């Protein structure tokens, strides 16, 4: 009896091992053969800006590398919405989720390329150096890395200018807070998160000059229990509006349980999760970006030399998702005015004089922060309670 | 003062899943089976509990299902370690990976779903009328979910069972010296199976607390390493359910502390010292090592690990 059981279990184990072997043949051999190895000028395609082949819609196979599970909300979810938008256009896509920010990312990228992908989007900051390594090995594949800064001829970087939308969300929060204390739950003290906290604070203080924003770091892009706990701590400390930039909506849910208000969730649909607490949300619309980028690839105008593809409110890659009924009266007008100002350039949220939260003047009167300085931002503006690092 | 009370309340909430899992671990360890699969069992319990809660909105049914699901997983562990005499450490790891995988896979369809408000009300914080007026402890102990009270009763019940009942004595004997137990006619296999199953059930309840009360949603990897802290806690509490209570709340407190004070800075002389949250996160494991060293040095019989912990019992070698 025992022997039979052992045999059954071992057979099950062997079968399960065979079930995970990849089966697809690589498709890249087709494209390089028919073009006889020359990717610069083809008989059917025009010369492209980057030198890589301009694929047609049928030839395209786009691979996505996600650092966390897609779930139902959050950063990865909104990238996935972009992927689904591409699928609706008839483009074949593949994805791998839960790829950690380690050398496993290289394996994942190679995996996707061997399955025929000719465009790769890696959406997490920590994937940067690994994607760069793989980009060197496959000069004919388009690599795109979100939120990073390494570029090559076939590797570009992109991101939504979410801080613009966070400024607007901050206005809503500043107008709504009764205690004057706002809490912000986010992940790592990297410029991406620091920028958002700063923009949010500047927005809140533009309508409520004494408001403060307290920051809690969760040290993880995805940690449900810690995100909830951090928000609870902020609420215990007297905050009555919670904002968050992390991968779940747990901070907002913690706020809703206490009867406080919340903004954020980087993906659409936040109001349905916390209807009584929801003010507004600074969301990404990566579907718009991906459609723009794929169009550029198809047109042959894709290039990585133009620098960081940082697209914001004007190109609809970031948005403010709705002003809910919970917002203070007058919020919509204030937000609309600010949004218009940001888009037409008349409102520069980073212009001086700006002090950091220890009182040192960081941006002098009459000056402003350049894109390079923003991408390396490592100090908090006045009104932020917390430390970078 | 209010700040302190709310902080302690949160700390206790963070400690409750640890307490459930530690009690389960203690049950397993006391019969001689080192349980490293706690994380997997918690995950399975969390997923199963949430799934049933979403579809039936019945608190009792979801808790029971959570327990049963992790019980089944622990039976698998028992099969491999007791009947097949497999290596307990390796099997434990395998169960962790298996449990996490099963839970994440089954939970994909549950992602993003919310439970009914009536369910959340029943499982959420319940205020006990008179006792809540006790300063500080009132809010901390008597403004919590039913599962919290269940965990405390279970801890006391387990202590009573282990120390004062006959079955508890026999079970401990099986963990200390199965050969002697076998000679006196005790069926060591069935004792091990039953207690491993019960231990698994408790771990599942710990996971269910996370997905049904604390968060309360299903998310991938919702346990996020708490199972491993529980493994350390079992040792930290020297296999004593009462000490497990204090240990769990201490570890919960440390976790809450690391989030509350992300950066404690002070000056000594002319130097700025800053203790970051990572150092506080390290403390539970550091404390466990200290306790382990102290118990080994003290040689007090009741604080030692069960003698046959981790070893498979081969009847033929008796």
CATH number, domain of A69, equals: 3.40.50.2300
Query: pLDDT band at residue B297, thresholds of 50, 70 and 90?
Result: confident
A235 and A98 within one domain: no
Is A12 within the bounds of a domain? no
Determine the pLDDT at residue B36: 93
In this complex, which of A224, A233, A273 lies closest to B219 when CB atoms are compared?
A224
Rg (CA), chain B: 20
Q: Is the CB of residue B215 less than 8 Å away from at least one CB of chain A?
A: yes
A274 and A381 within one domain: yes
A167 and A134 within one domain: no
A115 and A207 within one domain: no
Is A38 within the bounds of a domain? no
Task: Please tell me which residue of chain A has the smallest CA distance to B6.
Answer: A236
List of chain A residues whose C-beta atoms are within 8 Å of the C-beta of residue B114: 273
Task: Please tell me which residue of chain A has the smallest CA distance to B281.
Answer: A219
Mapping DSSP to helix (H, G, I), strand (E, B) and coil, where does residue B202 land?
A: helix
A332 and A309 within one domain: no
Determine the pLDDT at residue B37: 93
CB–CB contact B219 A230 (8 Å): no
A174 and A260 within one domain: yes
Mapping DSSP to helix (H, G, I), strand (E, B) and coil, where does residue B164 land?
A: helix
Residue B67 predicted with pLDDT over 90: yes
Kindly report which listed range (A181-185, B44-48, B247-251, B259-263) carries the lowest average pLDDT score: B259-263
pLDDT tens digits for range B8-43 = 888 899 999 999 999 999 999 999 999 999 999 999
In this complex, which of B111, B214, B263 lies closest to A225 when CB atoms are compared?
B214
Determine the pLDDT at residue A54: 84
Domain span at residue A122 reads: 54-160+286-315
A331 and A202 within one domain: yes
List the CATH code of the domain at B2-317.
1.10.3470
Determine the pLDDT at residue A84: 93
CB–CB contact B111 A248 (8 Å): no
CB–CB contact B111 A68 (8 Å): no
CB–CB contact A250 B215 (8 Å): yes
In this complex, which of B220, B226, B260 lies closest to A233 when CB atoms are compared?
B260
| Structure-model confidence comparison of residues A213 and B112, the more confident one | A213
**Nearest Cα residue to B88 out of B297, B311, B313:** B311
Q: Is the CB of residue B4 less than 8 Å away from at least one CB of chain A?
A: no
Say what the pTM is.
0.76
Determine the pLDDT at residue A277: 87
Residue B154 predicted with pLDDT over 90: yes
CB–CB contact B10 A217 (8 Å): no
Is A95 within the bounds of a domain? yes
Q: Which long-range contacts (CB under 8 A, 24 or more apart) does B307-310 make?
A: B307/B175, B307/B176, B307/B177, B308/B32, B308/B174, B308/B175, B308/B176, B308/B177, B308/B178, B309/B29, B309/B32, B309/B33, B309/B34, B309/B175, B310/B32, B310/B33, B310/B34, B310/B88, B310/B89
For residues B241-271, one letter each, b for 16 or more C-beta atoms within 10 angstroms of the residue's C-beta and e for the rest, the string is bebbbebbbbbbbbbbbbbbebeeeeeeeee
A168 and A58 within one domain: no
Residue A344 contacts by C-beta under 8 Å, 6 or more apart in sequence? none
CB–CB contact A224 B262 (8 Å): no
Q: Give the residue from A315, A335, A370 where a domain finishes.
A: A315
Determine the pLDDT at residue B151: 93
CB–CB contact B217 A232 (8 Å): no
A177 and A77 within one domain: no
Residue A29 contacts by C-beta under 8 Å, 6 or more apart in sequence? none
Is A5 within the bounds of a domain? no
Determine the pLDDT at residue A32: 39
In this complex, which of A71, A217, A219 lies closest to B112 when CB atoms are compared?
A71
Q: Which parts of chain A register pLDDT below 50?
A: 23-45
A174 and A66 within one domain: no
Q: State the average pLDDT over residues B180-187.
A: 90
B197: its two tokens: 């199953």
B256: its two tokens: 């809450």
CB–CB contact A2 B214 (8 Å): no
Helix axes B2-30, B188-209, angle to 10 degrees: 160
Domain count, chain A: 2
Q: State the average pLDDT over residues B137-158.
A: 89
A293 and A237 within one domain: no
First-to-final CA distance of chain B = 61
| DSSP string of B287-314, one letter each residue | HHHHHHHHHHHH--GGGSPPTTTT----
Whether the upstream peptide bond of residue A353 has omega within 30° of 0, thus cis, is: yes
Residue B137 contacts by C-beta under 8 Å, 6 or more apart in sequence? none
A227 and A84 within one domain: no
CB–CB contact B217 A224 (8 Å): yes
With the CA atoms of A258, A261, A266 and A267 taken in that order, what torsion angle do they form, in degrees rounded to the nearest 10?
Answer: 80
Is A126 within the bounds of a domain? yes
Determine the pLDDT at residue A20: 60
Q: Is the CB of residue A228 less than 8 Å away from at least one CB of chain B?
A: yes
Determine the pLDDT at residue A22: 53
Task: Please tell me which residue of chain A has the smallest CA distance to B226.
Answer: A225
Is A361 within the bounds of a domain? yes
């Amino acid at each position: 009896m025992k022997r039979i059981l052992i045999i059954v279990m071992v057979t099950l184990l062997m079968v399960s091992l065979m079930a995970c072997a990849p089966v697809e043949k690589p498709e890249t051999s087709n494209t390089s053969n028919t073009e006889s190895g020359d990717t610069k000028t083809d008989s059917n395609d025009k010369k492209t800006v980057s030198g890589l082949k301009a694929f047609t819609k049928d030839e395209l196979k786009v691979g996505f590398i996600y650092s966390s599970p897609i779930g139902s909300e959050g950063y990865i979810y909104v990238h996935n919405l972009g992927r689904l938008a591409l699928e609706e256009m008839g483009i074949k896509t593949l994805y791998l989720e839960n790829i950690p920010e380690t050398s496993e990312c290289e394996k994942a990228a190679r995996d996707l390329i061997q399955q025929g992908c000719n465009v790769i989007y890696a959406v997490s900051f920590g994937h940067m150096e690994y994607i760069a390594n793989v980009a060197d090995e496959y000069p004919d594949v388009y690599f795109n890395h979100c939120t990073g800064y390494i570029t090559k001829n076939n590797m570009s970087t992109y991101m939504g200018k979410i801080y613009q939308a966070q400024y607007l969300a901050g206005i809503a929060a500043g107008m709504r807070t009764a205690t004057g204390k706002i809490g912000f739950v986010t992940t790592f003290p990297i410029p991406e998160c620091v920028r958002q906290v700063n923009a949010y604070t500047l927005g809140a203080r533009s309508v409520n000059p004494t408001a403060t924003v307290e920051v809690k770091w969760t040290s993880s892009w995805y940690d449900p229990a810690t995100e909830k706990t951090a928000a609870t701590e902020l609420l215990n400390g007297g905050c009555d509006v919670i904002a968050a930039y992390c991968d779940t909506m747990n901070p907002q849910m913690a706020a809703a349980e206490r009867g406080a208000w919340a903004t954020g969730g980087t993906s659409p649909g936040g109001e349905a999760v916390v209807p009584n607490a929801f003010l507004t949300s600074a969301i990404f619309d990566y579907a718009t970006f991906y459609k723009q980028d794929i169009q550029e690839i198809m047109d042959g105008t894709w290039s990585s030399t133009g620098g960081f593809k940082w697209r914001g409110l004007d190109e609809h890659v970031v948005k403010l998702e709705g002003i809910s009924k919970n917002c203070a009266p007058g919020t919509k007008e204030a937000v609309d005015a600010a949004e218009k100002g940001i888009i037409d350039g008349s409102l520069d949220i980073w212009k001086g004089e700006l002090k950091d939260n220890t009182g040192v003047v960081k941006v002098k009167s009459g000056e402003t922060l350049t894109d390079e300085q923003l991408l390396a931002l490592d100090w908090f503006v006045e009104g932020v309670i917390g430390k970078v690092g | 003062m209010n700040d302190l009370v709310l902080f302690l309340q949160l700390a206790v909430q963070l400690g409750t899943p640890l307490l459930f899992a530690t009690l389960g671990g203690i049950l397993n360890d006391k019969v001689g089976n080192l349980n490293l699969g706690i994380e997997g069992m918690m995950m399975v319990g969390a997923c199963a509990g949430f799934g049933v809660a979403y579809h039936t909105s019945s608190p009792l049914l979801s808790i029971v299902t959570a327990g049963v699901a992790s019980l089944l997983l622990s039976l698998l562990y028992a099969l491999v370690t007791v009947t097949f005499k497999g290596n307990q450490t390796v099997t434990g790891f395998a169960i962790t990976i298996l449990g996490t995988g099963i839970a994440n896979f089954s939970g994909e369809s549950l992602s993003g779903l919310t439970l009914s408000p009536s369910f959340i009300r029943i499982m959420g914080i319940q205020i006990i009328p008179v006792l809540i007026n006790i300063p500080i402890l009132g809010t901390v102990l008597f403004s919590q979910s039913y599962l919290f009270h269940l965990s405390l009763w279970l801890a006391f019940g387990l202590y009573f069972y282990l120390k004062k009942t006959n079955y508890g004595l026999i079970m401990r004997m099986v963990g200390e010296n199965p050969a002697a137990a076998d000679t006196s006619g005790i069926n060591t296999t069935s004792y091990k199976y039953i207690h491993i199953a019960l231990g698994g059930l408790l771990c599942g309840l710990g996971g269910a607390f996370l997905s049904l009360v604390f968060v309360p949603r299903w998310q991938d990897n919702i346990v996020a390493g708490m199972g491993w802290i529980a493994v350390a806690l079992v040792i930290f509490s020297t296999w004593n359910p009462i000490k497990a209570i204090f240990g769990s709340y201490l570890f919960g407190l440390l976790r809450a502390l690391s989030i509350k004070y992300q950066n404690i800075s002070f000056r000594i002389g002319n130097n700025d010292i800053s203790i970051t949250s990572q150092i506080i996160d390290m403390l539970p494991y550091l404390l466990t090592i200290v306790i382990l060293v102290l118990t080994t040095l003290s040689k007090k019989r009741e604080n030692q690990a069960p003698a046959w912990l981790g070893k498979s019992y081969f009847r033929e070698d008796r």
